[in-house]
Amino acid sequence: MKEQTARRQDGEAGGDRRRLFQARVLDLTDGLYRVALRLTRHESDAEELVAEAVAKAWAALDSLEDESRFRPWIFSVLINTFRSHCRRRGRELSLDDCQDDAGGEPDFSLFDKLHQPFLLWWSNPEQDFLNKLLGEDLQRAVDSLSECYRAVVVLVILEGCSYQEAADILAIPIGTVRSRVKRGRSLMQKALWMHAREAGIHTATSETEGEM
Amino acid sequence: MGNEHKPIDCEEVLRSLISYLDGELDKAATADIDHHLKHCRTCYSRAEFERHLTELSRKIGPSKAPAELRRRLARLVEGF
């Protein structure tokens, strides 16, 4: 009798735990999918990644020491699942290696390219440029980043994570997040600029070609 | 006392602007940049440009996961 009661109580506790986990996962599904989509850049791959991460998170739930840290914890499971996917596909993992893009180039600033301080007050080339940008231009610019910058940009800029939260999720130092956010923005702006020039969205007026 | 700010130049603002816009500076450093932006038209324009670009970037892609993924996850967790 005692055994039956204990089993029933264990079953009820397990059911509660599962329901709580399910509620939290469903709360975070949109964010998990958005991050997965920007990392994989394919809808079906993103769905697979999220589903696999959720299964892994359930299996590793005991490793979550602080319940209030569920959000960064499950995002870190997603990131680690993505790392495993890359390894499984035999791809060189670039999520943790930014060397390719650093290249010693100075940071690029769209504002510096567009701003003209001596224009009349009603003229605003920066705003004109932003008004012409489409969502797909921005998406293309984010997707053009190598994974190591993209992961930080997606977490901080798109999902609004703090630097500390992004550092915890990616298991990298906060100083690295700070420098990658800055560099990632710069590379994103350069990609936007190049696309704007190629697509004729912006035509050169006063900027110096040699500065590119 | 509360209105005293460390005077900072445009170079310093430029170095910290991204951390400032991301809300990652401490109160004193934030107040110093706030103060500078009130008096420097170019830095103010730069900050507004970066802020606006970030806002546009936040709207990239779908805001919601596909309904089928939500159903799939619900079924998956039911099976645990």
> Does A105 lie in the same domain as A197?
yes
Domain-embedded: residue A132: yes
Residue A24 near residue A70 (C-beta atoms within 8 A): yes
Residue A47 near residue A32 (C-beta atoms within 8 A): no
Q: What average pLDDT does range B44-69 have in this prediction? A: 94
> Does A111 lie in the same domain as A81?
no
- Flag whether pLDDT at B33 surpasses 90: yes
> Does A66 lie in the same domain as A33?
yes
> Does A110 lie in the same domain as A204?
yes
Quote the pLDDT of residue A211.
43
Q: How many domains does chain A have?
A: 2
Name every residue whose Cβ is closer than 8 Å to that of residue B33 and which is 6 or more positions away in sequence: B8, B13, B16, B17, B20, B25
Question: Does A28 contact B at CB distance below 8 Å?
Answer: no
Question: Looking at the partner chain, which of B61, B68, B77 has a beta carbon nearest the beta carbon of A22?
Answer: B77
> Does A119 lie in the same domain as A78?
no
State which amino acid sits at residue A67. Answer: E
Q: What residues of chain A lie within 8 A of the CB of B29, using their CB? A: none
Q: Mark which residues 47-76 of B lie under 8 Å from A by CB.
A: 49-50, 52-54, 56-66, 68-70, 72-74, 76
Domain-embedded: residue A94: no
> Does A110 lie in the same domain as A62?
no
> Does A133 lie in the same domain as A41?
no
Question: Does B25 contact A at CB distance below 8 Å?
Answer: no
Percent of the residues in chain B that have a pLDDT greater than 70, as a whole number: 95
Alpha carbons A126 and A207: distance in angstroms, whole number: 13
> Does A110 lie in the same domain as A47?
no
Q: Which CATH architecture group holds B10-78? A: Orthogonal Bundle (1.10)
Question: What is the full DSSP assignment across A173-188?
Answer: -HHHHHHHHHHHHHHH
Which one of A88, A121, A151 terminates a domain? Answer: A88
Task: Extract the tokens encoding A140.
Answer: 């293309």
Question: Does B79 contact A at CB distance below 8 Å?
Answer: no
Domain-embedded: residue A161: yes
Mean pLDDT of chain A: 85
> Does A203 lie in the same domain as A122?
yes
Quote the pLDDT of residue A117.
75
> Does A82 lie in the same domain as A157?
no
Tokens 């603002």: give the residue.
Answer: B13
Alpha carbons B29 and A39: distance in angstroms, whole number: 34
Q: What average pLDDT does range B32-50 have in this prediction? A: 95
Domain edges within chain B: 10-78
Q: What is the pLDDT of residues A35-66, one digit of tens each?
A: 999 999 999 999 999 999 999 999 999 999 89
Question: Looking at the partner chain, which of A58, A158, A182 has a beta carbon nearest the beta carbon of B58?
Answer: A158
Q: The complex's ipTM?
A: 0.90
Q: What average pLDDT does range B51-62 have in this prediction? A: 92
Alpha carbons A41 and B27: distance in angstroms, whole number: 38
Q: Which of B55, B77, B78 to mutate to test the interface with A (most CBs of A within 10 A)?
A: B77
Q: Measure the CA dihedral A187/A188/A193/A195, to 10°.
A: 110
| Alpha carbon B80 to chain centroid, angstroms | 39
Which residues form the domain of A103? 99-211
Q: Which of A73-77, A143-147, A205-209, B7-11 has the lowest mean pLDDT?
A: A205-209
Name every residue whose Cβ is closer than 8 Å to that of residue A26 and which is 6 or more positions away in sequence: B70, B73, B74
Q: What residues of chain B lie within 8 A of the CB of A163, using their CB? A: 19, 22, 24
Domain-embedded: residue A200: yes
Q: Which residue on chain A is closest to B23 by alpha carbon?
A: A162
Domain-embedded: residue A93: no
Quote the pLDDT of residue A121.
63
Residues in chain B: 80
> Does A58 lie in the same domain as A153?
no
Which one of A88, A112, A137 terminates a domain? Answer: A88
- Flag whether pLDDT at B28 surpasses 80: yes
Question: Does A115 contact B at CB distance below 8 Å?
Answer: yes
Q: What is the pLDDT of residues A111-127, one digit of tens each?
A: 999 988 776 666 788 88
CA distances from A106 to A40, A138, A211, B64, B73 (A): 28, 21, 11, 36, 44
Quote the pLDDT of residue A82.
93
Quote the pLDDT of residue A209.
43
